[in-house]
C-alpha cells in the first residue's frame, strides 16, 4: 500500500513540476501577444483578404503581375517597404534609385519575405504579413524587438532567371 502511495505521490509531483515548467515558459507569453497583434491587425483591416500559407505567412496579392514567377535562385528586383503593424515604417527602398536585388530563396533575407516573393509574378504587388518566426524571431534584430510581426509591402519589378 505504501509503495502505491509513493508511486502516486511521485507521479503527481512530476506532473506538477511539468505544469510549472511549461507555465513558466516566457516565450509562450510573447507568442500569444504576437498572435494577438496579428489578429488585431487582421480584424482592423477586413478588406485585406490575406491567404494564410502553411508556413504561417499571410499573403495578399494587391496587384497580380503578368510576368515570370521567380524560381529558386532566380534574381529578383524589388521595391519594398517594411512596416510594423502600427503602420510605422522600419525600412524602405522606395524613393531611392536602386531596387533590392537578391537570389530568391537563398536564405539571405527573412524567410517570410523570400517565400512571399516566390508567390509573385513580375509586375505584381503584394503584402506579406510575416510573423516573427519568419522574420527576425525571438531575438529580434537592430531596432526590431523579438516576437515582432512585420508587414512587407513588395513590388516585384523584374526576374532574371538563373543560368
Neighbours of 157 (CB within 10 A): 17
How many Å apart are CA 79 and CA 96, to the nearest integer? 9
How many structural domains compose the chain? Answer: 1
Question: How far is it, in rounded angstroms, from Cα 89 to Cα 74?
Answer: 28
- Picking from 132, 117, 106, 123, the residue whose alpha carbon sits closest to that of residue 33 is 132
Nearest-5° Cα angle at 105, 140 to 59: 70
Q: For residue 83, what pLDDT is reported?
A: 97
CATH number at residue 116: 3.10.50.40
**What's the rounded mean pLDDT across residues 130-154?**
94
Task: Give the range of the structural domain holding residue 83, as residue numbers without chain letter.
Answer: 27-160
Local structure of 128: helix, strand or coil? strand
- CA 28 to CA 67: how far, in whole Å? 42
Question: Would the pLDDT of 115 be above 90?
Answer: yes
Q: Is 91 within a domain?
A: yes
- The answer to whether residue 149 sits within a structural domain is yes
- Beta strand residue intervals within the chain, DSSP E: 51-52, 58-63, 75-84, 89-92, 100-103, 125-130, 150-160
pLDDT of residue 9: 53
Residue 147 forms part of a structural domain: yes
Q: Does residue 7 fall inside a structural domain?
A: no
Q: Is 85 contained in some domain?
A: yes
pLDDT at 161: 94
Q: Which of 20-34, 69-83, 121-135, 139-153 has the least mean pLDDT?
A: 20-34
| pLDDT for the residue 17 | 47
Closest CA to 120 of 161, 59, 163, 50: 59
pTM of the model: 0.82
Is position 10 within any domain?
no
- Say what percent of the chain tops pLDDT 90: 76
Task: Note the pLDDT of residue 22.
Answer: 52
pLDDT digits (tens, 9 = 90+) for 43-97: 999 999 999 999 999 999 999 999 999 999 999 999 999 999 999 999 999 999 9
Average per-residue pLDDT in the chain? 88
Amino acid at each position: 500500500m505504501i509503495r502505491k502511495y509513493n508511486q502516486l505521490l511521485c507521479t503527481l509531483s512530476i506532473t506538477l513540476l511539468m505544469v510549472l515548467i511549461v507555465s513558466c515558459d516566457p516565450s509562450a507569453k510573447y507568442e500569444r501577444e504576437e498572435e494577438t497583434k496579428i489578429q488585431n491587425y487582421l480584424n482592423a483591416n477586413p478588406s485585406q483578404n490575406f491567404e494564410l500559407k502553411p508556413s504561417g505567412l499571410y499573403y495578399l496579392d494587391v496587384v497580380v503581375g503578368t510576368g515570370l514567377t521567380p524560381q529558386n535562385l532566380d534574381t529578383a528586383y524589388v521595391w519594398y517597404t517594411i512596416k510594423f503593424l502600427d503602420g510605422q515604417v522600419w525600412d524602405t527602398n522606395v524613393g531611392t534609385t536602386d531596387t533590392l536585388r537578391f537570389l530568391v530563396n537563398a536564405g539571405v533575407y527573412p524567410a517570410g519575405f523570400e517565400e512571399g516573393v516566390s508567390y509573385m509574378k513580375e509586375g505584381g504587388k503584394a503584402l506579406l504579413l510575416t510573423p516573427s518566426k519568419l522574420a527576425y524571431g525571438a531575438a529580434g534584430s537592430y531596432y526590431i524587438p523579438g516576437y515582432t510581426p512585420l508587414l512587407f509591402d513588395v513590388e516585384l519589378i523584374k526576374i532574371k532567371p538563373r543560368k
